Structure 1
Amino acid sequence: MKSFDVPVVYRSPLISAIKKKRKEEDRMKKDFSPTMLDFGPLKIYLARHFGFCYGVENAIDIAFRTIDENPGKRIFLLSEMIHNPQVNADLRNSGVQFLQDNKGTQIIPFETVTADDIVLIPAFGTTLTIEKKLRDIGIQVEEYNTTCPFVEKVWNRSEVIAQKAYTIVIHGKPSHEETRATFSHAAANAPSVVVKDMQQT
């Protein structure tokens, strides 16, 4: 599996050791039982999957590599890279400017972005409308796209389902970046609806 260059400040030695041990014991990730840390009178259970996932590590790696490889260039991020205040603060402190907040409210107008700038697409992905806006400006969308491969897998699956004339039902928070992006990609191919909770079904 691909490994990523994620700043060490984001990695706990304890958590890394636990994840490494679990990976060695269960390479196919079929055991979903929690990990127990036994400190005698205190036992701590950790979920099987926790910490930064593959998609998040990929996004962080791309973002910081982009900063390192492009000194002096204006670098924008559509919205939060991930929902981690430290990572987002570190990106801001490295000069990355956020175009939108995580609800899609514009902070910096797209009209101020030029073809010479870099725009990172966060791990959540983005809507087709925003992709088109960026392309119209002259931004190379694919080059700095950190969309999680598993998010893209959902989009691809919705395209396959659409070919069978199904309606796509997306369960998620309607205002969340990933939900908005997934709805956009799904709705391009089939009738699609976002369902927030069971009461809406």
Structure 2
Amino acid sequence: MNRKIVLSKTMGFCFGVRRALDLVEKALAEKGDGRVVTFGPIIHNSIVLDSLARRGVVVVHSLEELQDGDRVVFRAHGVPKSVSDQVRQAGYAVYDGTCPRVGKSQKIVHDYCKRGETVCMTGDREHGEVIAVSSYGEGVTVLNNRMDVESFEPSGPVLLISQTTFSLPLFEEISSLLEKRCDERGFSFARYNTICPATATRQKALEELASEVEAIVVVGGKNSSNTRRLYEAALRLVSRAWHIEDARGIVSEMADYRSIGITAGASTPDDIIFDVEAALKAL
């Protein structure tokens, strides 16, 4: 079969991920006896994390795990404010890999909560970015779907922001519902669309890709929020879609399709994408 393989116009590493990984490389290159540690996984990609571990990079999840002389890299998703403050106060060398867009959200939350306003954030409650951003203010409410909005009772002016990798259509839906809820109760409503433009561009590119192919392979970590959202969108757009981490996830069923598209999450390296492309061509 003469199979057509089409690559999405926008996919793979985003600016924030590249920046965070560059800081890990910088920390590794620095002379010193201490370890290079990341506070939480630097990105949501097990293959990249395994590669860094083989080079001596250690992932820690608590302040108690730090050792004297450690060089500490904050991940792209950011870390809770209390963690950032304590690590810096303890005198560790800090390489702040927090994505600048996440840093902007942290500042927005801090400033609005300081004025006594209610801040809501669309996103996944357990996601590292949401946890980190929410820590910069008191009482931040996380909204993930319509039901969350329906159970939320505003008590004053409300500001809505978003996880940077959240679904834009879902953000728009939640925003409209929340604005109506605030209007009905006489409270002002404002919003900042803090979704990364690269996320929206990646989702739009997926829609264009779907118009050209029968099936889509989504490449990225199984625990990557933005990759999961791409996969969920692909399932709605084409007759068949798969979510794999690398070329080892290629299955014989893929050979049944004349045209297959490839897209990838923000934490997926180019070499993994190209390996998947080569494996599909070899079917």
Work out whether residues 75 and 118 of structure 1, in 8 Å CA contact, stay in contact via their aligned partners in 2: yes
Matches within 5 A, 1:50-65: 50-65=11-26
Conserved in 2, the CA contact under 8 Å of 1:118 and 1:139? yes
Instruction: Kindly report which structure 2 residues correspond to 1:71-90, keeping only aligned pairs within 5 A, or say none.
Output: 72-90=33-51
Q: Is 1:199 paired with 2:152?
A: no
Pair 1:157-2:108 in alignment: yes
Which is strand-richer, 1 or 2? 2
Consecutive unaligned residues in structure 1, runs of 5 or more = 1-39, 101-105
Instruction: Determine whether 1:67 maps to 2:6.
Output: no
CA shift digits 1:147-168 (9 cap, x unpaired): 0011111122334444664311
Deviation at 1:129, TM superposition (A): 1.6
| Alignment counterpart, residue 116 of structure 1, candidates 69, 73, 78 | 69
The C-alpha deviation readout for 1:78-100, integer Å capped at 9, x for no partner, is: 11111112221121111111112
Answer yes or no: is the 8 Å Cα contact 2:23–2:95 preserved in 1. Answer: yes
Bigger CA radius of gyration: 2
In the alignment, the residues of structure 1 paired with residue 66 and residue 116 of structure 2 have an alpha-carbon distance, to the nearest angstrom, of: 39
CA distance in 1, matches of 2:68, 2:33: 15
CA distance in 2, matches of 1:89, 1:45: 26
1:146 and 2:97 equivalent?
A: yes
3-state SS in 1 of match to 2:95: coil
Give 1:73 shift. Answer: 2.3
User: Residue in 2 aligned with 1:184?
Assistant: 135
Q: C-alpha distance in 2, partners of 1:171/1:70?
A: 41
2:80 matched to 1:127?
Answer: yes
Partner amino acid for 1:195?
Answer: L
Distance in 2 separating the partners of 1:122 and 1:193: 23
Given that residues 59 and 147 in structure 1 are in contact (C-alpha distance below 8 angstroms), is that contact kept between their aligned partners in structure 2?
A: yes
> Percent of aligned pairs with the same residue?
24
Please report how far the alpha carbon of residue 42 of structure 1 lies from its aligned counterpart in structure 2 after TM superposition: 3.0
Q: Structure 2 length as normaliser, TM-score? A: 0.47
Q: State the 1:200 CA deviation.
A: 1.2
Q: Is the 8 A contact 1:114 1:138 kept in 2?
A: no
CA-based RMSD: 2.3
Cα drift, residue 134 of structure 1? 1.6
- How far the C-alpha of 1:45 sits from its partner, in A, is 6.1
TM-score, normalised to structure 1, is: 0.64
